[in-house]
Structure 1
Amino acid sequence: MKNFSELSEKEILALAISLEEEDNKIYNEFAEGLRETYPDSAKIFDLMSREEDRHRHRLIKLYQEKFGNHIPLIRRQDVKGFVERKPIWLSRPLSIDKVRKQSEVMEIETQNFYYQAARRTTDAAVRQLLGDLAAEEHRHQRRAEQLEKQFINPQVQEKENKSAHRLFVLQIVQPSLAGLMDGSVSTLAPVFAAALATKDSWQAFLVGLAASVGAGISMAFAEAVSDNGSLTGRGNPWLRGASCGVMTTLGGLGHTLPFLISDFWTAMAVSGVVVIFELAAISWIRNRYMDTPFLQAAFQVVVGGLLVFATGLIIGSS
């Protein structure tokens, strides 16, 4: 890996060509990744991709005039000082906010590169082109804002916001809600059965802790391997698995932690109150994000929770 200060003018031009080729491909990937869900934003990145391609042609033309037809392969990772770019363009579907932030960083980084490169060169033609490209990258930021105003009117913005909301529900809310419901409901029976069978808060806590953590691990792996998200649009499987597993564990721990109270009947009462709040929270989330009428959601969740709760009481009292 070389320091930027060690590069010759020939290597600087070769690096600039490589950067423009990379940015062109990334903007193409952004456009393709956004086309189905955010078609109007995809048009912006199509135009930005073509701009980068024009920059590449100008750089190659000057390079050929100065150094011939062989262009050495010098990439950003071969030179110290460049910001590492996370390959968010490989994810499907793409997050519109992440894409816009990434493109802003790309434009600023490329602009700074051209400014620094122009200062280091002594050839007049090379310096002029690098300076011109630095100015154009600066104008790109304003151009992107103009394109956004052109293509992203209030109606389109509302449509894209709805698309973003659907993706958020699909990738985050659904697996998290599934985990919360499983953790809150499925652990009721073992926790309260153990509590009534032993009349010992600590033993009930240990059973609840084991049931919550075990269920969280099981649900995390089950969600992660269910599908890779490439066809369903459900996003990164490990992110879904992590959110599902964490919420499963938290759902079980909610009514398990009160059994840290040494007085058994006090712990039982507090845990029962927590169960009510858990079921109410699940009903609210289903109403808020899954468009399920609140009363219907409450009925479904409460009936299921009470049946499991009663099962635990019956088994623990027998």
Structure 2
Amino acid sequence: MFSRVLGLGRRSFDSLSEQEILALAISSEEDDARIYRSYADGLADQYPDSAKVFEEMAEEEDGHRTVLIEMHRKRFGDRIPLIRREHVRGYYERKPDWLVRPLGLDKVRAMAEQMEEQAYRFYIEAAKRTSDASTRKLLGDLAAAEKTHESLAARLGHKLLTDDVRAEEAATERRQFILTMVQPGLAGLMDGSVSTLAPIFAAAFATQDTWQTFLVGLSASVGAGISMGFTEAAHDDGRISGRGSPLIRGLACGIMTTLGGLGHALPYLITDFWTATTIAIIVVFFELWAIVFIQHRFMETPWMRATLQVVLGGALVLGAGVLIGSS
């Protein structure tokens, strides 16, 4: 592990021969073509037009690989040394973002721009280290090609991604974000904030012991988070509903459930009972209005309906907990 971090056991770029530089360029183009096709595959179902852009860019990388192989065959023969990015110290690496699903449009496009910029810098440095005129010209041409890939993506985007298509893809991306992150997270926040009100405030007014109340709140919050997270992840794999990764939804729901309960449990770490209770009630007030805002902002629930559902319901649960604990 330390040798990898420190770059031990890797070759320096300056030590590579011209044949090895060509071999590295060939393997890099192969990898980039695979990455672009992975992007295309990941976007194909929801963003077919953007997927076409990355298919076109993968074909461009295939063309670069072909001319590099021809140059290698001309100068050094058919046997290409096995040398990849991870074998060279200081050489750029590709993070496996393409393995993560679902793929976000903005993230993918930004990553593609970064890939082309890195490839451009590589070809510039490689050309400086090459003495053969034809090889130097080829590497310079490839550097220019990589530099213009951004404009290539723009041209393909104008051709394939019309304003209507872009608007549709943006709407699809927002809808997917809501289905995968906002809905489960909101359900968890509501459950954690509202359902834990009664046991926490009942324990508080029954015992007037802040530490025991905190333990009740902690156990209720963590238990509810685990239960909600597993339920969200297990009841729908997302294939038919299109709600996205069950793991992401389960984590979003479970984490927000836990946070929703902990918000008004943490004040009971304060030893003074009435101070802790006052702060906890203030926290509850902000929690409930945060839920109302999220419902209105992302779920397009009218303000009045969201207020009645959340604030009034939360106040009733809070009151029930206080009455039960005081009896």
TM-score w.r.t. the length of structure 1 is 0.88
Is 1:54 aligned to 2:63, yes or no? yes
Q: Distance in 1 between matches of 2:92 and 2:246?
A: 27
Q: Distance in 2 between matches of 1:11 and 1:226?
A: 52
Q: How far 1:24 sits from its partner (Å)? A: 1.0
Instruction: Answer yes or no: is the 8 Å Cα contact 1:92–1:230 preserved in 2.
Output: no
**The one of 146, 149, 158 aligned to 2:155:** 146
| Cα RMSD for the two superposed structures | 2.6
Letter in 2 for 1:158: A
Is 1:18 aligned to 2:30, yes or no? no
Q: Distance in 2 between matches of 1:205 and 1:121?
A: 69
Secondary structure of the 1:291 match is coil
Q: How far 1:108 sits from its partner (Å)? A: 0.8
Q: Distance in 2 between matches of 1:140 and 1:196?
A: 66
Secondary structure of the 2:148 match is helix
**1:126-145 correspondence runs (5 A):** 126-145=135-154
**The one of 267, 287, 295 aligned to 1:286:** 295
Q: Distance in 1 between matches of 2:85 and 2:233?
A: 34
Q: How far 1:263 sits from its partner (Å)? A: 5.1
**1:59-70 correspondence runs (5 A):** 59-70=68-79
Letter in 2 for 1:40: D
**The one of 265, 279, 282 aligned to 1:256:** 265
Instruction: Answer yes or no: is the 8 Å Cα contact 2:237–2:246 preserved in 1.
Output: yes
Residues paired across the two proteins, number: 318
Letter in 1 for 2:36: Y
Q: Do the aligned partners of residues 231 and 124 (structure 1) sit closer, same or farther apart at CA in structure 2, a change above 3 Å counting?
A: farther
Instruction: Answer yes or no: is the 8 Å Cα contact 1:93–1:233 preserved in 2.
Output: no
What is the CA deviation profile of residues 95-120 of structure 1, one whole-angstrom value per residue up to 9, with x for unaligned ones?
01110111011101111111111111
Q: Distance in 2 between matches of 1:26 and 1:223?
A: 31
Instruction: Answer yes or no: is the 8 Å Cα contact 1:92–1:229 preserved in 2.
Output: no
Q: How far 1:17 sits from its partner (Å)? A: 0.9
What is the CA deviation profile of residues 47-74 of structure 1, one whole-angstrom value per residue up to 9, with x for unaligned ones?
1111111111111111111222222222
Q: How far 1:197 sits from its partner (Å)? A: 0.7
TM-score w.r.t. the length of structure 2 is 0.86
Instruction: Answer yes or no: is the 8 Å Cα contact 2:102–2:245 preserved in 1.
Output: no
**The one of 314, 317, 320 aligned to 1:305:** 314
Q: How far 1:221 sits from its partner (Å)? A: 4.8
Secondary structure of the 1:74 match is coil
Q: How far 1:241 sits from its partner (Å)? A: 4.0
Which of 264-273 and 146-155 deviates more?
264-273
- Give the corresponding residue for 1:88: 97
Q: Distance in 2 between matches of 1:75 and 1:169?
A: 40
Which of 128-137 and 251-260 deviates more?
251-260
**1:48-197 correspondence runs (5 A):** 48-197=57-206
Letter in 1 for 2:298: Y
Instruction: Answer yes or no: is the 8 Å Cα contact 2:210–2:273 preserved in 1.
Output: yes
Q: How far 1:232 sits from its partner (Å)? A: 5.5
**1:258-277 correspondence runs (5 A):** 258-260=267-269, 264-265=273-274, 267-277=276-286
Q: How far 1:147 sits from its partner (Å)? A: 2.5
Instruction: Answer yes or no: is the 8 Å Cα contact 2:13–2:91 preserved in 1.
Output: no
**The one of 309, 316, 326 aligned to 1:317:** 326
Gaps of 5+ in 1: none
Kindly report structure 1 stretches of 4+ aligned residues shifted beyond 6 Å.
none
- Give the corresponding residue for 1:212: 221
Instruction: Answer yes or no: is the 8 Å Cα contact 2:85–2:93 preserved in 1.
Output: no
Report sequence identity in percent.
Answer: 57
Q: Distance in 2 between matches of 1:16 and 1:107?
A: 13
Instruction: Answer yes or no: is the 8 Å Cα contact 1:190–1:207 preserved in 2.
Output: yes
Q: Distance in 1 between matches of 2:96 and 2:244?
A: 14
Gaps of 5+ in 2: 1-9
Is 1:243 aligned to 2:263, yes or no? no
